[in-house]
Structure 1
Amino acid sequence: MTRHERWNALLELLAEAGQLTVEETASRMGVSAATIRRDFDQLAQQQMLTRTRGGAVVQSVSYDLPLRYKSARHAPEKQRIAAATAELVKPGSVIGLNGGTTTSEVARALATRADLHADGTAPGVTIVTNALNIGNELAVRPHVKIVLTGGVPRPQSYELTGPLATGIFDHVTLDVAILGVYGIAVDHGATCHNEGEADINRIMAERAERIVIVADGSKVGRRAFAKICDTARIDVLVTDSTVPQPAVDAFTEAGIEVIRT
């Protein structure tokens, strides 16, 4: 296990437990106590946790980890979700993409779709995004037209938020909004941690003819602080095979097409 993978696992354990001791963490992760002490110290320096005598406790940021710490979590599932989602996009479409690990994978899947390269005279797809990392990755793809919003970036997600981010949607319309979320539940709709991100995601959804939610199984049935949209507004949920059939049936009964990869 690399240090990056160990830190991901450690932060997930801490988010679940609320507090950890050096000894129990070392035992659960199969490394030395000295290694865990160094990990706790380095993560505390990055304000990812609060160091205590003999252990560590969570900080609020631990529940909204920066993108670089989330990228390895459920990676195979997210790649399969992204491939299935990319197949829903028609050539020539205008797509809204918010930030996050799953939507970043969707962007990569769209960038490599062969049929979007067919006509060199026009973009194969137009992507409107508030995610700096997606804009950076796709800016070099000649068949993808990138429209990047303004705004102030959040270091946790690389998403641009605020009035400068939302203003662009007064001037554009979208065929499809593909949104990554922290939680999606039949009773609560689509949600995320940050109200600024929720604002731009909600406006993106309002400007789209169709709304596609991409979420691995760990997000299904969960809810977070800030609401993006009601369940009734969602057209498609693309998720993975870990979602149990009763949960799929509940979304289907609510009028949502569910694609499990």
Structure 2
Amino acid sequence: MRDVGERQRSILALARSSGSVEATDLADKLGVSIETVRRDLRVLEQHGVVRRTHGGAYPVENAGFETRLSERTGARLAEKRRIAQAAIGCLADASSVFIDEGFTPQLVAEALPADRPITVLTASVPLAAAISGQPHLTVILLGGRVRPNTLAVVGASVTAMLGRYVVDLAILGANGISLTHGLTTPDPAVADVKTQAIRSSRRRVLVGVHSKFGISSFCRFGELRDLETVITDDGLPLAQARRYQDQGPHVIRA
């Protein structure tokens, strides 16, 4: 039987690769009791790397850990698609849109309507590649250093370029959304880009699954009051959504 440390590392790896884990499934895979798994999850939560749920847990992105883009694409896909569709409803008459790095913002970009021209600014290489063939879209990829985990560009050249524009709408993502600490992300260079996107936009909409709420990462890039709308899935309890809405933005549970 594997030792405790090895077992807990396996649980964390499974949580990060799939987006969430169930205690019963872990017990079967690891050949241990459900109570043993629950103890392991409690330890991992104390270390700040997972957040427990009823029956399982999901990984927490913190200052020392950030999932790769490839690991995000398969997690909570149905919820992310609903969030993206709800975000399209916030476009109004916007003709220029900044769309953040990350898989959920990319789903928003791929769902942009084809009935009018839209200029899209982004720091995400995969996003730009995914939509650049659309004839109704003008895609501007901001230039800078490419981060290997997310294939997004960062650096002073990105923020300077973005600072030359005034965009109608910014679609933003975050690693953490907290009543206490606002909008956060692990990497300072990423935070700089997001902060500039807030400054350069007339309206801001944040998209993110419910597991990001109540989480605080290393670098703050904005406050809830900076946002017009927050769009998440219905896994966020209604009472909690109301507490976020009390700080300024309209909260949509898609």
- The bucket for the TM-score relative to the shorter chain is 0.7 to 0.9
TM-score (norm 2): 0.76
Say whether residues 1:197 and 2:197 are aligned partners.
Answer: no
> What percent of counterpart residues are identical?
25
* 2:29 matched residue in structure 1: 30
Alignment check: 8 A CA contact 2:96 2:169 kept: yes
* 1:86 alignment counterpart: 88
Q: Using the alignment, how far apart are the partners of 1:133 and 1:75 within structure 2?
A: 17
Match status 1:117 vs 2:119 = no
Gaps of 5+ in 1: 1-7, 16-23, 33-59, 119-123
Offset of residue 180 of structure 1? 0.9
Match of 1:160 among 146, 153, 166: 153
- Structure 1 position 209, deviation (Å): 0.9
Alpha-carbon displacement from aligned partner over 1:36-90 (angstroms, at most 9, x marks no partner): xxxxxxxxxxxxxxxxxxxxxxxx8982111001111111100000011012113
Describe the SS at the equivalent of 1:203: helix
Conserved? CA contact 2:16–2:67, under 8 Å: no
Distance across 2 between alignment mates of 1:215 and 1:131: 17
Match of 1:136 in 2: 129
Q: Secondary structure at 1:168's aligned position in 2?
A: helix
Inter-CA distance 91–235: structure 2 relative to 1 (3 Å threshold): closer
CA distance in 2, matches of 1:92, 1:259: 19
* 1:170 positional shift: 2.9
Show structure 2 runs of 5+ residues with no match: 1-9, 18-22, 32-61
> Which residue identity is paired with 1:239?
T
Structure 1 residues 61, 67: closer, same or farther in 2, change over 3 A?
farther
2:212 to 205, 208, 219: 219
Report what 1:44 is aligned to.
Answer: none
CA offsets per residue over residues 170-197 of structure 1, 9 Å max, x none? 3211111110111111221111111111
What are the Cα deviations for residues 2-60 of structure 1, in whole angstroms up to 9, with x where unaligned?
Answer: xxxxxx98625379xxxxxxxx9x9636389xxxxxxxxxxxxxxxxxxxxxxxxxxx8
Q: Is residue 142–residue 161 contact of structure 2 (8 Å, CA) maintained in 1?
A: yes
2:252 aligned counterpart, secondary structure = strand
Instruction: Determine the structure 2 residue equivalent to 1:57.
Output: none
**Aligned 8 A contact 2:167 2:201 in 1:** yes
